[in-house]
Structure 1
């Protein structure tokens, strides 16, 4: 029997029940949670997250880009390393917009996925 994955953000489906997500969507939701959670934000996991939002207002430059890449890569490996393998992570800053492009492979299925996050909205 396949595990039930609660969709994120929490919502109600058309039947009035807790909305669920398939495995690939659940992992993508978890990627967003790792990237956007600031360490110290979760009570029972104070070191969870990578603090991406804290870096958004830092001066743009190669140092900031390198910091985001290193921090995001380490957090994804630490918290989701059993679910995915990061195949590529690129951070860019254009006209004051921070973009993170992530390519990863799901461990359970071997499927390749990608997500691009621009200034706080996933695409």
Structure 2
């Protein structure tokens, strides 16, 4: 078992844990939502998604995020997952990230969808 994210205490009064596929999902979320410079000992960790939060939504924004996210996933989680596809789309006020990947330890194929509103 792995430590669950966000960190919390479970009903037994112990550190909450989770299964490996959920832990990998947590790692991806942490990577995408961490701003480079936010972590003291790893200043280049993250992909800058939150830096783009108030930028006007556009195909250019989606392309920039796609390049940043794919590079960060390869660099920081390349030993945990293999990215099959990463598609970032901007439609009206919604930015959508669809990530298809394989968990290396188990060979399990997974798809994660992350959506959020952007400034228009």
TM beyond 0.5 = yes
* 2:19 corresponds to 1:22: yes
Displacement of 1:93 after TM fit?
A: 1.8
Q: Name the count of aligned residue pairs.
A: 117
Displacement of 1:94 after TM fit?
A: 2.3
Q: Give the whole-Å Cα distance in 2 for the aligned partners of 1:52 and 1:100.
A: 11
RMSD (Å), alpha carbons: 1.2
Give the 5 Å matches for 1:1-123.
Answer: 4-119=1-116
Report 1 or 2 for greater relative contact order, CA contacts < 8 Å, sequence distance ≥ 6. Answer: 2
Q: TM (normalized to structure 1)?
A: 0.90
SS at match of 1:44: coil
Q: Deviations over 1:60-105 (max 9, x none)?
A: 2221111111000000000000000011111112231211111100
Structure 1 residue ranges without an equivalent (≥5): none
The farther-off stretch of 11-20 and 70-79 is 11-20
Q: TM (normalized to structure 2)?
A: 0.92
Q: Give the whole-Å Cα distance in 1 for the aligned partners of 2:114 and 2:44.
A: 22
Structure 2 residue ranges without an equivalent (≥5): none
- Structure 1 runs of 4+ aligned residues shifted over 3 Å read none
